[in-house]
Structure formats: C-alpha cells, structure tokens
Copies of this chain bind each other. A is one copy, B any other.
Amino acid sequence: MSVKKMGTQTVKLYNPPTILTTASIVGPKEGEGPLGSYFDLVLNDDLYEEKTWEKAESKMTKETIKIALEKIKLTPEKIDYYFGGDLLNQIISSSFAARELKIPFFGLYGACSTMTESLSLAAMIIDGGYADYVIAATSSHFSSAERQYRFPLELGSQRPPTSQWTVTGAGAAILGSTGTGPYITYVTTGRVLDFGIKDANNMGAAMAPAAADTIIRHFKDTGRRPKDYDLIITGDLGQVGKELAIQVVAENGYDISGRFTDCGVEIFDLSSQDVHAGGSGCGCSAATLCGYLYSLLVSGSINKLLIISTGALLSPTSTLQGESIPSVAHAVAIERSI
C-alpha cells in the first residue's frame, strides 16, 4: 500500500518542496484591477510587440519563466522539468515557450486547472526525489481564447451576465527540493465531474461541483477543517460559481464562508471593470497565485493557503455535438512553515 496516500485522492508530501520564487505578467486590464501592483510586469498592449495574440501569449509564458529564473539566479539548464499547459489548441503557448527554454517538458492540459495541476505534479516529482528544480507555469490570453472558444472579437458579440472574462496573464513558480518555504504540503487531485450544464457562457456553474468535490475530499482525506487554512481560494468560478461552491461544501458539513474566495472574483473589480461574473482562464489563478497570493505567504499575511484551480473541459466541438461540460479541480496546500 502506498504510504504517502491519505484517503482516496490526497497525498502528503513528507519532503515538501519549497516554492523558491514566482513571477507573473498580465495584460493592461488586469493591471488596472485590484491586484495590479502585485504583478512583475503589466503589458501596455496585449499584443506584446508580436504580430498575433497567440504569439503574444507564448511570449508572455516564456518571459514570465525568465523573470522567475532571474529572481533566483538560475539558468534553464539547472531546471530538471517544466510542467506547463494552456488553453490554446495543442497548448502552443507552452510548447513554443518550451522550445526556447530547452528544459525537459511535460505538456499538460487541464483547462483553467493547469496551475494546480502543474504544481501537483511538480511537487510530487520533487518530493519523490526525481528532481531538484521544477517549473510549473501556465497562461491565458483574452483575445486568443475568445476567438478560439467563442467568436471573432471583431463581431462584438454581447456577453451574458454569467459569462467570465479570460485573464490575459501568465504565472510561473519554481519549486526546489531544498528551501525555507512556502512549502507545498498536500496535493488533492480532482475527478472529472459533469452535472449536465451545457451553457458555455456559465462555466462557473459547470465547474462549481468539481471545485466543491475536491475541497470536500481534501478535508475528508486529511482530517483538516476549513479553519486550518487562512485562505481557501478557487481558480475561476467567478461570482456565480463561488456562491454555488460555498453552498455545496456547506451541505457536506464544511463551512468555508469567511475564509473563501475565488481568483476570478479578486483579480478584477467586478463593479467597475465590465467583466460580468469575473475572471477566468489558466492565467487567472496562475497570476493571482504567482503575483498576489505568493507575496501574502512570503510576507506572513497568510500562513496556510488552499488553492483549487478549476477547469471546464469542454471544446467548441464537444459543445456543437451537444455535450455538456465536464469539469475538474485540483487542490494544493501551501504553507509558510512546517
């Protein structure tokens, strides 16, 4: 029997890796939001001096990783693995970044759950003794996502109130086998759930059950309670999904209200930035974690964080073929000291 497994979906890291550093780059709109001062770079133009939004997104990924490497004076050659993915078809943002960096690369696709998916795998690979330095990174871009998943921006399609705004942003974390924290201590891996929601403009509702399932499972597996965390934060449920998640988790005996929020709700000012239900995209939890939350941990403003990035696993093709939206959520516990 596996000795590191707790319950059915959680592993405890006995040699918890340190998040040595993080970096984040965001677009202009995200820079104007409430977390604007926490990012390493705010772009003036979301084309980032490239000819296409897709190339801009890949550059954002690559440059974010480079900033992180520079912060701790590491070269790419020192990195054992790069775990990354993004929303674009065939994860070209990440693959093209990996081409420049020449680090052994594990490509992931977890939709907007990619930040914690990459952190989960990176953490286990380090804890298990297979690596000393691992990069976990992801990105999204409003303009590249919008035209791939929905409509050409030039159409000016109206957005319903439940829709979310894909964050233009990238986040990268470098994990190390030695260090003084913040540490990744637990990893709870999500199952793919589907409650039959078919509205691709209401992904918060589609993802809320998966988020709730992983949160509940984390508490059951570890024996922890909500009060053991200073902050519990989901990836991009937005305002609609956030309320649903609180409710489902409460119905299962865990009151997370008061210490729970969502990166999609925090990264924009919902009252003034015209983003409707909030932010979304891989970059949402990535930039919020690698910008804002990491600095809260390092400064001691919070000591224990449970972050649960959430992914809606739909494709434009699956929607056209009448499928509902399966979702997944992966949780990692990050603690300032152990």
Question: Interface of A with B (CB < 8 Å)?
Answer: 1-5, 9, 11, 51-52, 54-55, 80-81, 85, 88-92, 95-96, 98-99, 102-111, 117, 120-121, 124-125, 127-132, 148, 177, 189-194, 313-318, 321, 323, 326, 328
Contacts and interface: CB of A to CB of B under 8 A. Distances in A.
A123 to B, nearest CB: 10
A257 B193 CA distance: 47
B110 A107 contact: yes
How many copies of the shown chain assemble into the complex?
2
A249 to B, nearest CB: 19
A87 B55 CA distance: 21
Contact of A130 (B105, B107, B128): B128
Contacts of A106: 108, 110, 117, 120-121, 189
A191 B89 contact: no
A326 B132 contact: no
A321 B47 CA distance: 14
A102 B321 contact: no
A174 to B, nearest CB: 15
A326 B107 CA distance: 13
Contacts of A193: 99, 102
A55 B317 CA distance: 10
Contact of A117 (B2, B99, B107, B321): B107
Contact of A128 (B54, B89, B129, B192): B129
